[in-house]
């Protein structure tokens, strides 16, 4: 499997560009297993303890996207919050801190590792390890599982994590915040997103990524801005972190059951078969409640139906399924500009606490 060409972070301004390869999710999993097998490959207890520390450093970079120097400066006993299931990151070169949500299984593994008396005793200086030594071990593990050595370095793992999150549809401002990049003003369409709300969005995504209960595709994370009540149904409009508005039409009973109010964070999801595509730069007259312009980035053709993935301007990827014969008739191509259309009745709302 070749390393994926994808959107990658660059610079301190939080910008992203498609300027090189990085490991994909499958390759990152192979690299993680390489570290785990490496621990079991030695009979010496002192070496095992040292290797477990390197594994922990890898896991923290791989799942938080933090810099190597940020992880090495962590106090593992005070900066890893078991109750809040997050890591408190401080950049030694910057006067700021940030909270990064982590998945429950990772939190449990970290706590179990730290609870080992021998391992705790080996952390007299925390994660303070020679950065060059850490990089060398990362390169060795990448080479051991047949991956390009340079793609296994800490900086490249951080980059791969950013690409993974963006491709998984985490809102770009949330990715930027997680990485510690400067973020744009979090006020879109006269709606302000607080730091705590941004953290909630990130935490929600991480939990879903871990549980795999739902696809991150066709999902908009945002804040309710208006609720129009009718006798039987209500129209809910939310704005996401990219400034896009999404309308959903639900029953009045569902509105009350979910306890929806303006200002509440919700997730709007749309099933792929309910999404329509219209080609061209100009949108013709249509009755669709939700309309977004983007470019086709992938086409997976099947005998009966084909999957078209469109990326809109804030990085959100929307997937639709259409009949392969219809796709051929439309002659849609990768890179082509299209409109993504769907009705409010097709939008399912999830109220996340």
Kindly indicate whether the domain formed by 4-192 is annotated with CATH number 1.10.443.10: yes
Residue-wise pLDDT tens digits, 154-167: 999 999 998 888 87
The three-point CA angle 19-272-192 to 5° equals 65
Residue-wise pLDDT tens digits, 96-147: 678 888 888 888 899 999 999 999 998 888 888 899 999 999 999 999 999 9
Distance CA 24, CA 10 (A): 18
Residue-wise pLDDT tens digits, 80-100: 887 778 898 876 666 567 888
Distance CA 48, CA 50 (A): 5
Q: Do 33 and 145 touch, CB atoms closer than 8 A?
A: yes
Single out the residue of 132, 137, 163, 162 nearest to residue 152, CA to CA. Answer: 137
Distance CA 252, CA 243 (A): 26
Sort residue 190 into left (φ over 0), alpha (ψ -120 to 50) or beta. left
205 burial (CB, 10 Å; 0-12 / 13-18 / 19+) is: buried
Q: Which helix (H) or strand (E) holds 60?
A: helix 45-64
CATH of 270-342, one of 3.40.605.10, 3.40.50.720, 3.40.50.1260, 2.40.50.100: 2.40.50.100
With the C-alpha atoms ordered 47, 48, 49, 55, is the resulting torsion angle positive or negative? Answer: positive
Domain segments of the chain: what residues?
4-192, 270-342
Q: DSSP characters for 169-229?
A: T--HHHHHHHHT-----SEETTEE--HHHHHHHHHHHHHHHHH--S-STTEEEEEEEEEEE
Distance CA 240, CA 244 (A): 6
* Token pair for 324: 């392969």
pLDDT of amino acid 163: 87
* Token pair for 45: 């207890």
Residue-wise pLDDT tens digits, 290-326: 999 999 989 999 989 999 999 888 778 899 999 999 8
Q: Which helix (H) or strand (E) holds 333?
A: none
Q: What is the pTM of this model?
A: 0.65
Residue-wise pLDDT tens digits, 228-239: 999 999 999 999
Distance CA 76, CA 219 (A): 34
Q: Do 246 and 325 touch, CB atoms closer than 8 A?
A: no
Supply the DSSP symbol for 230. Answer: -
């Amino acid at each position: 499997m070749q390393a994926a060409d994808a959107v990658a972070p660059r610079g301190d301004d939080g910008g992203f560009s498609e300027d090189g390869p990085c490991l994909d999710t499958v390759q990152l999993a192979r690299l993680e297993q390489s570290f785990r097998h490496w621990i079991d490959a030695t009979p010496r207890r002192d070496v095992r303890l040292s290797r477990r520390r390197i594994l922990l450093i890898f896991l923290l970079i791989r799942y938080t996207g933090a810099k190597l120097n940020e992880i090495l400066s962590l106090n593992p006993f005070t900066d890893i919050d078991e109750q809040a299931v997050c890591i408190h990151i401080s950049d030694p070169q910057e006067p700021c801190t940030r909270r990064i949500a982590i998945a429950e299984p990772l939190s449990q593994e970290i706590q179990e590792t730290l609870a080992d008396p021998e391992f705790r005793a080996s952390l007299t200086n925390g994660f303070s390890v020679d950065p060059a030594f850490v990089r060398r071990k990362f390169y060795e593990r990448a080479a051991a599982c047949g991956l390009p050595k340079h793609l296994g370095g800490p900086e490249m793992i951080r980059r791969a994590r950013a690409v993974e999150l963006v491709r998984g549809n985490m809102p770009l401002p949330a990715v930027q915040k997680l990485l510690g990049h400067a973020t744009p003003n979090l006020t879109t369409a006269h709606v302000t997103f607080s730091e705590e709300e941004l953290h909630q969005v990130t935490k929600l995504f991480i939990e879903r990524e871990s549980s795999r209960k739902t696809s991150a595709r066709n999902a908009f994370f945002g804040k309710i801005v208006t609720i129009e009540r009718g006798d039987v149904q209500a129209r809910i409009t939310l704005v996401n972190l990219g400034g896009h508005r999404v309308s959903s039409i639900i029953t009045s009973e569902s509105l009350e059951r979910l306890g929806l109010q303006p200002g509440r964070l919700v997730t709007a999801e749309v099933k792929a078969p309910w999404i329509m595509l219209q080609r061209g730069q100009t949108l013709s007259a249509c009755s669709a409640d939700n309309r977004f312009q983007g470019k086709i980035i992938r086409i997976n053709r099947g005998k009966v139906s084909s999957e078209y993935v469109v990326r809109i301007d804030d990085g959100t990827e929307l997937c639709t399924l259409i009949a392969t014969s219809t796709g051929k008739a439309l002659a849609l191509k990768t890179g082509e500009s299209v409109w993504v259309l769907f009705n409010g009745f097709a939008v399912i709302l999830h109220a996340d606490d």
